[in-house]
Structure 1
């Protein structure tokens, strides 16, 4: 069968946008190359602008420097202010001279003069001590500089105003007075970097040109956290001979323009590569995308007689051909699904679910049809429920395919055993681990006896031939269809008793009896008593837990009842621990509680549950016991520390005395000191006595010998040696260094400290 391959032509035409984009890029490259001439002119203009900015800035800064040098000449007003006695008129003249300098040069932010003989600082408005001056840190640093008269790198200058302290970025020029020694004082002139930026901005067009100044360390004058970076192709760097600063002038967006306009030959080669790549990619992608469609067409052509009738007209193109094939495939699939829904197995499952729920009376007509289909002409019915033991382990051990195979084998064995006994049976899996057996007897007879025999045969066969076991619960025989649901409920209740009766057995509903209401009160009392014993770290909880599981086994509790009691135990234990032992909350939430809940969910027998609970609660009880011991140790150590802090002057105080008083061995007491305080007893006691000695030395005139005797030392030499080892200096040196400084700084461990 032949089809029109027009789709490949349409696909080729659909890639024309790729060619359009490629041509657009090439056009852009062409204009970029043409504009490179403009870039050369821009570079030349930047160079001239940078030289002009450098000359203009250096001229202004030199003028400020020259003016400052004239002001500090010998015999001038500023030198008189520094050398002559203090005089208000002279202070005013000097301040007025500084203000005049600021007025003449608009770049200057502030000027102030430091007088060395009395440590006073004069600015345009005030004279104040250096210690109160906002920018005192820079003055102190400038006094130690060997060379002056050089403009500094940008720095933050602190100023004290009406609204508080403020900081501005400035560059500073300082001169020692006189020049060679600076013994009289120091003159400092500050120029704001923002003023320099505005000053330079007058010489350039800020909208298209940007300028920056870097000091000799690469630190930028304008902007925050800026440093000297690599120069772009559209910027020019000029270094000032006067200041040593680097002036950079460039076009805004220079990195992008440099990338676009650099290298005409490179752009030409790139353009040719783009054209070749676009054409090759277009044909390759087109052919590659069409290949799956071509494969589909070949497969359909191979079986065209089955998909399209021989008399069908040839389709106009491949898509219409594929569309017809897919439409027929969907139609056939829907028909197959409708047939599957009517399959006997699905009908049997639906019918069985209706019987077990007792809902068949809602639709009597459908019930009669299903009844005739399965041959239910009347008689007696009995329900057995088979449940796989340890289903969680079974699901983890085998793959889904193997699980389905084992379930099929189990149901087949159940049907075969029933048929060999001459009984009619309906067997279906209603859950992942439960198989329902509906046994039917039309002529009456001992139906319960037959069901017990069949159930035992199924159980023993599974045990002997498969790697797992099953437990079966048997309901009572009923005489009509509505009572089938009652028989099923009895079978479900019987099989739930396996948690207390055991696994791999047949449980008849007549074997189990309901618990009396009074028994629940006894269980709850056992749980509350056991929780109290666990919280108090009493070992009796172990016997109480064993008794609880023993009582549940004796009364054959259902699985639901066992789970209800154990969930109450977990809840009550969590409440007591959170309320009275908050330190144990984290291990309870992360380890103990999840382990108990998992055991309740996955365990099938009381023996398994008892083992898991004994192990998990045992670990919890150990932690509670350890916590209780730590609490007692902490209380005892607090009492001992308080006693030592009160009696440390007693010369007879020792580990032996403490052990006798607190009824604890000296060795264990020494260990507690090391663990809780981090020091042994002797170091702790010496520390208290030395602190007391330092206080006496600072506040009294007692002799070293008296202090040594008061502290229990045999001779002053021993006391002095211990004091010097701990403090770093002798008692006499300590008293001399701290004489009269009761509230001020004092010597502590050989260093000056503040009280």
Structure 2
């Protein structure tokens, strides 16, 4: 046991280390070798390209110097014309010029001028007759190909038959320039001088260069090898560059015996370095393993002591690795529990801090807690805005989701709103202060104007409301408190935003509220509304059929004064209590309208309604039912009472497509024929005409006041389809519904302002 763990540690990774290092060294050698070869080929290509460019420039310079001299020196034309008396001067001048051209460049072997008129040639030695001139074959070749512009193949050149032959390449130009026919100028470049120039540019100890003509014959080489040794040469050639001016091909490579020698040297050095590194790493591994083993040895001694205490005497010994695994599992589990508890404590502390801020309590150490808990993503020193977000129809939300799902949805909503706030350049901190209400504290940059801040919050609210409706199926209302310059003023902003949320019924569809927009004197109008309610109850008790108009005015006044939700419900329920005292005792049927299970369900619907329009509809339906019962009871089913009740019923239900005399007879327990007779006697019109009149009147209002389609309006006034509705409307009004809407719209536009 003393050294077993040391050997385990060493043998666990030492073989892997050796294999890995060996593979890396081998791969490094291959990579370096490949890179070196590519760089060698590239360097040789650059060197050979430089030689080719130099030769090309030298030949071009020779050509241009000759052309320039022939063009500028008029004596050349004089010589070609052979004008007699001036010929001698022209000969001397041209000979001097030819010598100058030959001496100007060391590559130029000779220059001569051929005159076609008398077939004489002027060289640097003087004027030669055709039979005396030894380069007659080339002149005949030039005469046969006068348009050729390039350099010739390598040839032997000598002026006189007794002169030694020299290897040259030649170029001829017709004279006078550029396309004369009186002769031509021949320029000969000495191949030996050209080869020596190439040799000076190539290090023959390391590399070689050879030149081949158009047929592939070797014409020059810097190597000492024989020209016939083509196979050996082919294996060492690295680059081939064509030379268009002469048709040659320049071939280059590394000299035999030197090919990649320096690459091999670098590779050997690299291998030596790699082996040295491996040996050093092995020594370091032995050292570091021995040093790191000391704490492990101490730990293993403690594990042995624990194992000796846990294992029974004489029993099998527990595996020390199993003991370590159990200890680590316990440690990890305790750490996770601790971190989870810390996170929960942090969330609770943040929520408590938020509640203290909005309630204005325990503000003495608020700054310290803010620095420690860091609820906002960045340090914000003000100003601040408090936004309240309330879930509408919260009882439905509670019934539709479990407690766990409710918490998940609230958490998701909080994160989404905070993310949207960051997108708008605001720093948000959200906490749920009540079951259905979340507070969102927003930090605003001081350089942002108040108008820009309100616009950002408006965009944030609209995006949040739309996202919540689309993804969670919930409706929200957002209220914004006034701007706060410090933490101490956040409580006042919260209270103002909360007061604004108490006006949801009167605000209707407005999902975004600014606390500054709320009226300040709404509470003082309560007495006026009570007076109006008392007048309504009196009118209702007297069976005045105009009670619906009075009820509409009550609701319009409540909406205009923007009363609190609780005040609106209190006033309306007070109205029902006053009405119950007035008419509730007339019959048990009337009493059941104000008490009992049905009345209780109606009251719960009133409490849960979040819109004043829905509340208006609930009260209208309930009061219409009470009114019908009250009239029926108070008139004891007299003819007038019955027809008044029947008329009221038709006015309330004329939009029902099933409304008919049969329906009325069943409703009021009389025959259809008798119902038609009563209606004719009382109102001097048929039941059908009265119902059509009501439907057309409402249809005209909808055509003028809404943008609904004709089909939709037909359904709203009791017709199953737009065809029947259109035919009836045209018969009663004189025009189709579409034309009626256009005519009315045009007449309204033509009215002067």
Report the TM-score range of the alignment, normalised by the length of the smaller protein: 0.3 to 0.5
TM-score normalised by structure 2 residue count = 0.38
Specify which structure has the bigger relative contact order, considering alpha-carbon pairs within 8 angstroms and separated by 6 or more residues: 1
TM-score normalised by structure 1 residue count = 0.37
Structure index of larger Rg: 2
